[in-house]
C-alpha cells in the first residue's frame, strides 16, 4: 500500500516535471502520453474491457521508429479511457517464426473474452511483408494483458483476409470477424463471418459486401440496428468513411452513406473499431479511428469520437469535439468549453496577411505564415499556469495529389503530395521552447483543428505566436482561422 502510494506520488512529480498532466479529457489528434510520458503506441487495434474489473485494455500495433512491420502488439490499461499505463507487448515478435517474426505483418489486432475457455483470444491480419499470405492470426492467453501464445494463421473459409475487424453482439455474446479480402480483382469484398462459441475458428459467412472495395471495417450495434463502418482504400491517406445499416447482421444492408461532414476525410482519420460503453445513464459508442502519419507511423495519432445515431432517420454521425469529458461509469460525455481567439483579431508579421475567406470565422483567414519571420500572434490570451490544451483551427490546401491513383487525387491529378505542414508555436516569445504543430492536408475551404498541450502563464497577458517549420518541402505553416484555449484539467 505504502509502496504503491509512493510510486504514484513519484509518478505525478515526474509528470509535472515533464510538463504533462495526467490527461482526463479525451483529446482527438493530440500527442497522447502514457503514465511514463511516452507516446501511446498501439495503432489500429481495439479496446477490450476486463470481465471482472471493467478496466479498459487497449491493444494495437506497436510501431518501431522508421519501420512498417516488426513491432508486435502492445497493450495499455486505463480506468477512464484517457490515462494509459503501458504493459509492454501482449504479443511479441519471435525471430524466425513463420507468422510472427519481426519481418512479418501483424496488423489490426482485436481481443475478445471467450466464456467457453475462460481466456482471452486475439485475432489479427497475419501476413508476410509483401502481403502475399492474407491470413488471420490467432493467439490466446488466460490473462487479458497477456502474454498471448501464438496458435495459428489461417485462411478464413479458404479466402484471403486483409484489413481485419471484430465485433461482439451484446445481445447474445457471439463474436464475428470482419475482413476485406484484398485488392486483387477477385477480391475487393468485405466479409462478415461468425465464430464458433469459443471464438477459436470461423463457422459461417453471414454477409459479403460485394465489390465495394472498402477496408478497415467495424460494427456498431444499437437496440434496433447494426451499422457497419468502413473506409475507402487510399492507403495511409484518410478519406470519407461510410456506414451501412441493417436490422440484422445477415442484411439486407442499406446503401453506404458518409459518417462525418463531407471533405473532412472523417476528420483526417480511418475507421477501425467501435467501443460500446454501457453506462448507468447512457450507452455511448466511441469511434476509435487512426490518424496515420505515413512519414513516421509510430507517431500516428488517435481520433476517438462519440457516435451519434438517429434511429428514426437511420443515420449515424461521428461527432467532433476538440476536447471532451467522458464519464465511463454513466456513459455520459460532454464537450469541454474553451475560449476562442480569432485570427482576424491577431497580429501578423512579415509576409503573413489576412485574406477574405467566406468559410472562415469572421470572413477572414491568416495566410502566408512562413518560417520565423512571417508569423501570426494571438495576444491577450488567458492562461492558468498549468498545462492546457489549445486547438489550432487551420486550412492546409496542399493538394492531396498522389500520382494517378484514383481516390488519392481529390483536388489535383498528378500533383506532389504532402502529408502535412508543420507550424511552430511559441508561447510568450520563448523561442527556445518551440512546439511543433502538425497540420494535415485539408480540402480547400475545410477547416480542421489540431491540439497542442501548452503551458501559459497565469493571467490574461499571454501571447501565442505561430510560424512555419521545415516539413521536408518548405517552412510553410497552415492558414489560421482561430485558436481555442481549453481549461486545465482539475
Site residues, ligand NAG (CB under 6 A): 128-130, 132-133, 142-143, 158-160, 181, 186, 189, 208, 371-372, 475
Shortest Cβ 139–ligand NAG spacing (Å): 12
Nearer to ligand NAG, 29 or 109 (CB): 109
**Nearest residue to the partner ligand NAG, using Cβ:** 132
Shortest Cβ 189–ligand NAG spacing (Å): 4
Residue burial 159-173, b: 16+ Cβ < 10 Å; e: rest: bbbbbbbbbbeeeee
DSSP secondary structure string, 324-347? EEE-TTT--EEEPP-EEEEGGGSE
Shortest Cβ 474–ligand NAG spacing (Å): 9
Give the Cα separation of 467 and 301 in Å (integer).
Answer: 22
Q: Which three cell numbers stand for residue 311?
A: 434511429
Nearer to ligand NAG, 451 or 467 (CB): 467
Nearer to ligand NAG, 151 or 446 (CB): 151
Give the Cα separation of 346 and 303 in Å (integer).
Answer: 29
| Residue 445 vs residues 91, 249, 371, 421, 451: alpha-carbon distances, Å | 43, 38, 23, 16, 20
Nearer to ligand NAG, 258 or 422 (CB): 422
**Residue 157: left if φ>0, alpha if ψ -120 to 50, beta else—which one?**
left
Give the Cα separation of 2 and 374 in Å (integer).
Answer: 54
Identify the bridge partners of residue 77 per DSSP, sorted by sequence position. Answer: 57, 85
Shortest Cβ 212–ligand NAG spacing (Å): 11
**For 76, phi and psi rounded to 5 degrees?**
-130, 155
Shortest Cβ 134–ligand NAG spacing (Å): 9
Nearer to ligand NAG, 388 or 418 (CB): 418
Shortest Cβ 69–ligand NAG spacing (Å): 10
Nearer to ligand NAG, 158 or 429 (CB): 158
Q: Are 80 and 328 in contact (CB under 8 A)?
A: yes
| Residue 213 vs residues 162, 240, 242, 258, 302: alpha-carbon distances, Å | 12, 14, 12, 15, 24
Nearer to ligand NAG, 145 or 283 (CB): 145
Q: Are 73 and 62 in contact (CB under 8 A)?
A: yes
Shortest Cβ 334–ligand NAG spacing (Å): 36
Give the Cα separation of 422 and 415 in Å (integer).
Answer: 20
Nearer to ligand NAG, 208 or 314 (CB): 208
Nearer to ligand NAG, 70 or 331 (CB): 70
Shortest Cβ 438–ligand NAG spacing (Å): 17
Shortest Cβ 7–ligand NAG spacing (Å): 17
Please count the CA atoms within 13 angstroms of the CA of 256 that sit on its side-chain side. Answer: 18
Give the Cα separation of 287 and 321 in Å (integer).
Answer: 12
Amino acid at each position: 500500500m505504502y509502496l504503491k502510494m509512493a510510486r504514484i506520488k513519484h509518478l505525478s512529480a515526474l509528470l509535472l516535471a515533464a510538463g504533462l498532466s495526467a490527461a482526463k479529457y479525451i483529446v482527438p489528434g493530440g500527442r497522447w502520453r502514457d503514465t511514463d510520458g511516452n507516446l501511446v503506441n498501439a495503432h489500429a487495434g481495439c479496446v477490450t474491457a476486463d470481465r471482472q474489473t471493467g478496466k479498459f485494455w487497449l491493444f494495437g500495433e506497436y510501431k518501431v521508429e522508421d519501420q512498417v512491420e516488426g513491432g508486435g502488439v502492445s497493450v495499455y490499461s486505463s480506468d477512464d479511457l484517457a490515462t494509459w499505463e503501458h504493459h509492454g507487448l501482449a504479443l511479441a515478435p519471435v525471430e524466425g517464426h513463420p507468422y510472427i517474426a519481426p519481418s512479418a505483418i501483424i496488423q489490426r489486432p482485436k481481443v475478445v473474452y471467450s466464456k467457453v475457455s475462460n481466456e482471452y483470444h486475439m485475432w489479427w491480419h497475419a501476413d508476410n511483408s509483401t502481403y502475399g499470405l492474407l491470413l488471420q492470426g490467432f493467439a490466446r492467453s488466460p490473462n487479458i494483458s497477456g502474454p498471448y501464445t501464438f496458435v495459428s494463421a489461417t485462411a478464413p473459409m479458404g479466402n484471403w483476409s486483409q484489413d481485419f475487424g471484430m465485433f461482439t453482439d451484446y445481445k447474445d455474446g457471439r463474436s464475428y470477424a470482419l475482413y476485406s479480402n484484398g485488392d486483387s480483382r477477385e477480391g475487393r469484398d468485405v466479409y462478415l463471418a461468425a465464430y464458433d462459441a469459443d471464438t477459436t475458428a470461423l463457422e459461417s459467412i453471414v454477409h459479403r459486401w460485394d465489390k465495394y472495395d472498402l477496408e478497415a471495417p467495424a460494427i456498431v450495434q444499437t437496440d434496433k440496428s447494426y451499422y457497419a463502418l468502413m473506409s475507402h482504400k487510399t492507403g495511409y491517406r484518410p478519406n470519407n468513411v461510410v456506414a451501412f445499416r441493417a436490422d440484422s447482421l445477415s442484411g439486407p444492408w442499406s446503401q453506404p452513406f458518409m459518417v462525418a461532414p463531407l471533405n473532412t476525410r472523417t476528420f483526417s482519420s480511418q475507421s477501425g473499431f467501435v467501443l460500446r460503453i454501457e453506462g448507468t445513464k447512457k450507452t455511448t459508442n466511441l469511434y476509435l479511428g487512426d490518424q496515420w502519419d505515413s512519414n513516421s507511423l509510430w507517431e500516428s495519432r488517435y481520433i476517438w469520437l462519440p457516435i451519434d445515431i438517429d434511429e428514426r432517420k437511420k443515420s449515424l454521425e461521428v461527432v467532433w469535439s476538440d476536447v471532451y469529458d467522458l464519464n465511463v461509469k454513466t456513459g455520459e460525455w460532454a464537450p469541454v468549453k474553451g475560449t476562442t481567439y480569432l485570427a482576424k483579431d491577431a497580429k501578423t508579421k512579415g509576409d503573413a496577411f489576412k485574406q477574405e475567406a467566406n468559410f472562415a470565422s469572421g470572413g477572414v483567414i491568416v495566410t502566408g505564415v512562413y518560417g520565423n519571420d512571417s508569423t501570426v500572434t494571438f495576444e491577450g490570451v488567458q492562461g492558468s499556469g498549468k498545462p492546457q490544451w489549445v486547438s489550432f483551427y487551420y486550412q492546409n490546401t496542399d493538394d492531396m495529389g498522389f500520382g494517378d491513383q484514383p481516390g488519392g487525387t481529390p483536388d489535383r491529378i498528378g500533383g506532389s503530395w504532402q502529408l502535412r505542414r508543420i507550424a511552430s508555436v511559441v508561447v510568450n516569445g520563448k523561442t527556445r521552447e518551440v512546439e511543433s504543430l502538425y497540420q494535415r492536408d485539408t480540402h480547400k475551404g475545410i477547416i480542421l483543428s489540431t491540439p497542442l498541450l501548452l503551458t501559459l502563464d497565469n493571467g490574461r497577458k499571454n501571447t501565442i505566436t505561430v510560424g512555419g517549420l521545415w516539413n521536408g518541402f518548405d517552412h510553410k505553416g497552415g492558414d489560421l482561422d482561430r485558436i481555442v484555449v481549453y481549461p486545465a484539467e482539475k
